[in-house]
Amino acid sequence: MSDPDVTNPASPWPYLPTLLRLVLAVGCGVFVGLEREHHGKAGVRTFGLAALLGCVGGLAGDRFATLAMACLLVLVGLMNWRQFTLRQTLALTTSTALLLVGFAGVFCGQGHTFTPVAVTVITAALLAWKETISGFVVGLSDLELRSAILLAILSFLIYPVLPARAVDPWGLIEPQGTWITVLLIAALGFVNYVLWKLYGPRGFDITSFLGGLVNSTAAVAELAQRVKEGGEGLLAVAYRGTLLATAAMLLRNSLLLALLAWPAWVSSLIPLALMILFSMLFIWKGLKRGSAGPETPKLNLEQPFSLKAALKFGLIFLALHVAGTLAQKRLGTWGFYAVSVAGGLVSSASAVAAAGTAAAHREVNAAIAANGAVLASLTSTLVDIPLVARVAAQRSLTVRLSAALGVIAGAGIVGIVFHDWLRR
The identity of residue 187, as a single letter, is A
Burial of 74 (0-12, 13-18, 19+ CB in 10 A): exposed
Instruction: Confirm whether 6 is domain-assigned.
Output: no
Instruction: Confirm whether 8 is domain-assigned.
Output: no
Q: List b or e across 277-290, with b for residues whose CB sees 16 or more CB atoms inside 10 angstroms.
A: ebbeebbeebeeee
C-alpha torsion sign, points 365, 370, 375, 380: positive
Q: Are residues 118 and 211 in the same domain?
A: no
* pTM for this prediction: 0.60
Q: Are residues 123 and 150 in the same domain?
A: no
Q: Are residues 377 and 281 in the same domain?
A: yes
Q: Please, are residues 197 and 213 in contact by the beta-carbon 8 Å criterion?
A: no
Q: Which one of 134, 150, 183 terminates a domain?
A: 134
d(CA 176, CA 166): 9
The identity of residue 308, as a single letter, is K
Q: Which one of 107, 134, 161 terminates a domain?
A: 134
Instruction: Confirm whether 2 is domain-assigned.
Output: no
Length of the chain: 424
Q: Are residues 331 and 378 in the same domain?
A: yes
Q: Are residues 90 and 239 in the same domain?
A: no
Q: Are residues 215 and 287 in the same domain?
A: yes
Q: Which one of 93, 108, 134 terminates a domain?
A: 134
Instruction: Confirm whether 284 is domain-assigned.
Output: yes
**DSSP string covering 217-242, please?**
HHHHHHHHHHHHHHGGGGHHHHHHHH
Query: How many structural domains are present in the chain?
Result: 2
Instruction: Confirm whether 4 is domain-assigned.
Output: no
Q: Are residues 321 and 301 in the same domain?
A: yes
- pLDDT tens-digit profile, the chain (424 residues): 444 444 445 556 678 888 999 999 999 999 999 988 887 777 788 999 999 999 999 999 889 999 999 999 999 888 888 888 887 778 788 888 999 999 999 999 999 999 999 999 999 988 888 777 766 666 667 777 777 787 788 888 888 888 877 777 766 677 887 787 677 666 766 765 666 666 654 556 776 787 777 778 777 877 787 677 666 767 887 888 899 989 999 999 999 999 999 999 999 999 999 999 999 999 888 777 655 444 455 555 555 566 676 677 677 767 776 777 677 677 788 888 888 888 888 778 888 988 998 898 888 899 999 999 999 999 999 988 988 888 888 888 899 999 999 999 999 999 999 988 887 7
Instruction: Confirm whether 219 is domain-assigned.
Output: yes
Residue 127 is part of which domain span? 15-134
